[in-house]
């Protein structure tokens, strides 16, 4: 099978930075459009229904992220392994990787969605979700539980396409589904008066369209998805390898989600205004995450392909240049958030007290953007090499940080409420420093011997 096909990108040859950026830019647009799902829910619900409705959706974010993370870790692991096989030109095993990862992704989301549906109310109550928003929060979570299978389908297909260097195709389906999502939000929330439930329906319908469309496209246009009978046979070594990497990745994402639940519990204790401000700043930070997340995913594919091709010098070069890009973006966004914080928060809510609180919160968290970016860049390299231990370590650090730092800082009288957002930055610093230590260890102790 020749490596000259369209809709793929061989990242084992050529200059590192242009390849990474060419791969990352379409994916960045895709990630931004994906975040527009959440922004559309927040803006439409916050403006048309009110701050309490926005708080209801915000109270669910850590819970839905937790359950989605459990599924997405497996899909990400399959994509990493596929990129390594693709870089090593082992195309027959690439097809087997697709089919065997698919088997896992059919079963796992169904189990997770069922458990999520059953446990969502106790989790919301444990997080001290105010009684006036609890019914809407529970309804939204239940709708998201049904939609887990659709979110997992899209993420699985897009992870595989990106493993081959195709970052454009997933973008097209996200753009389409985002437009549908906004239209359905307006229809369900404004015209049909379905409130928070309407926002949930719009999201899962849009995710279904993205996932189903990407599946049809992949099977028709990508040669690796044209599976023959032999490609469909179970390959237990691949399944074991995918699960072995997927479990730490899932634990990383889910532990981070658990840590977010701990922070949400602290936020809920300060009332609806703080909840609405935190929900708004969280949505904004999700957008800030996107360039970092995109760079991380591009670097993971770049590293995975070059790992499979046994080219460690290219892996190191890609890391250094990606880190430079990350630092520049972080230094630009810091003054932007400080100066225009009020205008940004006004996109989500009308209440002056929420706007004032959210704007000040952005000036705090933006100080730590470099630390956040470092986490993503280093994660991209280590994930590309299949370092499952780092994924677990990173999740543990986040859990410890978010279970301790917010409670300590908010208890200090002269910090109080603002300890919520200071704790976000402190945890980013701790996680970034831990990631850097792990990278230094890998580079000095393992990278030079990794291909022996």
**pLDDT at res. 446:** 57
Do the domain assignments include residue 10?
A: no
SS (H, E, C) 244-289: HHHHHHHHHHHHHHHHHHHHHHHHHCCCHHHHHHHHHHHHHHHHHH
Is the Cβ–Cβ distance between 199 and 189 less than 8 Å? Answer: yes
Tokens of 94: 């690439």
Banded model confidence at residue 4, pLDDT cuts 50, 70, 90: very low
Do the domain assignments include residue 142?
A: yes
Do the domain assignments include residue 139?
A: yes
Do the domain assignments include residue 272?
A: yes
Please state, for a pLDDT cut of 70, what percent of the chain lies above it.
95
**pLDDT at res. 447:** 56
Structural domain count of the chain: 1
**pLDDT at res. 434:** 92
Question: Quick check: 6 pLDDT over 60?
Answer: no
Identify the sign of the CA torsion 266, 271, 272, 274.
negative
* Stated pTM of the model: 0.76
Is the Cβ–Cβ distance between 380 and 322 less than 8 Å? Answer: yes
Ranked by mean pLDDT, which of 107-116, 285-294, 392-401 comes out on top? 107-116
Tokens of 159: 């992870």
Of 14-23, 227-236, 259-268, the poorest mean pLDDT is in: 259-268
Q: How many CB atoms lie within 10 A of CB 146?
A: 14
Nearest alpha-carbon partner for 156 in 212, 227, 223, 88: 212
Do the domain assignments include residue 305?
A: yes
Helix axes 91-126, 61-87, angle to 10 degrees: 170
**pLDDT at res. 3:** 43
CA distance 216 to 417: 49
Do the domain assignments include residue 316?
A: yes
Is the Cβ–Cβ distance between 368 and 425 less than 8 Å? Answer: yes
Do the domain assignments include residue 1?
A: no
* Average pLDDT of the chain, as a whole number: 87
Do the domain assignments include residue 5?
A: no
Tens digits of residue pLDDT in 113-171: 999 999 999 999 988 888 888 999 999 999 999 889 998 998 899 999 989 988 888 88
Instruction: Note down the domain range covering 356.
Output: 16-449
Banded model confidence at residue 236, pLDDT cuts 50, 70, 90: very high
């Amino acid at each position: 099978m020749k490596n000259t096909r369209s809709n793929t990108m061989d990242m084992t040859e050529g200059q590192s930075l242009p390849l990474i950026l060419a791969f990352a830019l379409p994916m960045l647009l895709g990630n931004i459009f994906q975040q527009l799902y959440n922004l559309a829910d927040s803006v439409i619900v916050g403006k048309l229904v009110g701050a309490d409705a926005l708080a209801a959706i915000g109270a669910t974010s850590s819970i839905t992220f937790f359950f989605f993370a459990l599924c997405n870790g497996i899909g990400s692991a399959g994509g990493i392994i596929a990129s390594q096989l693709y870089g090593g030109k082992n195309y027959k095993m690439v097809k087997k990787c697709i089919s065997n990862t698919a088997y896992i992704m059919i079963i796992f989301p169904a189990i997770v969605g069922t458990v999520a549906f059953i446990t969502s109310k106790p989790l919301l109550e444990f997080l001290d979700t105010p009684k006036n928003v609890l019914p809407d929060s529970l309804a939204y979570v239940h709708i998201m539980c049904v939609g887990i299978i659709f979110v997992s389908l899209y993420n699985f297909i897009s992870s595989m396409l990106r493993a081959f260097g195709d970052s454009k195709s997933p973008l097209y389906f996200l753009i389409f589904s985002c437009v549908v999502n906004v239209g359905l939000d307006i229809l369900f929330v404004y015209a049909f008066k379905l409130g928070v439930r309407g926002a949930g329906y719009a999201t899962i319908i849009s995710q279904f369209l993205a996932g189903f469309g990407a599946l049809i496209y992949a099977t028709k246009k990508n040669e690796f998805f044209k599976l023959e009978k032999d490609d469909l046979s179970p390959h237990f070594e691949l399944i074991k390898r995918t699960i072995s990497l997927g479990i730490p990745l899932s634990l990383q994402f889910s532990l981070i989600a658990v840590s977010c639940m701990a922070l949400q519990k602290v936020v809920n204790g300060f009332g609806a205004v703080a909840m609405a401000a935190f929900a708004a700043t969280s949505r904004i930070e999700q957008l800030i995450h996107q360039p970092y997340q995109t760079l991380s995913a591009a670097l993971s594919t770049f590293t995975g392909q070059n790992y499979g091709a046994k080219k460690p010098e290219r892996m190191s070069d890609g890391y250094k240049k990606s880190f430079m890009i990350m630092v520049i973006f972080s230094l630009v966004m810091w003054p932007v958030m400080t100066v225009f914080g009020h205008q940004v928060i006004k996109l989500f809510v009308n209440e002056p007290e929420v706007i004032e609180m959210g704007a000040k919160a952005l000036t705090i968290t933006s100080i730590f953007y470099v630390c956040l970016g470092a986490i993503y860049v280093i994660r991209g390299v280590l994930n590309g090499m299949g370092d499952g231990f780092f994924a677990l370590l990173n999740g543990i650090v986040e859990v410890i940080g978010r279970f301790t730092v917010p409670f300590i800082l908010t208890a200090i009288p002269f910090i109080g409420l603002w300890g919520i957002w200071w704790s976000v930055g402190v945890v980013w610093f701790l996680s970034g420093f831990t990631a850097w230590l792990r990278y230094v260890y890998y580079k000095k102790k393992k990278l030079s011997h990794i291909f022996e």
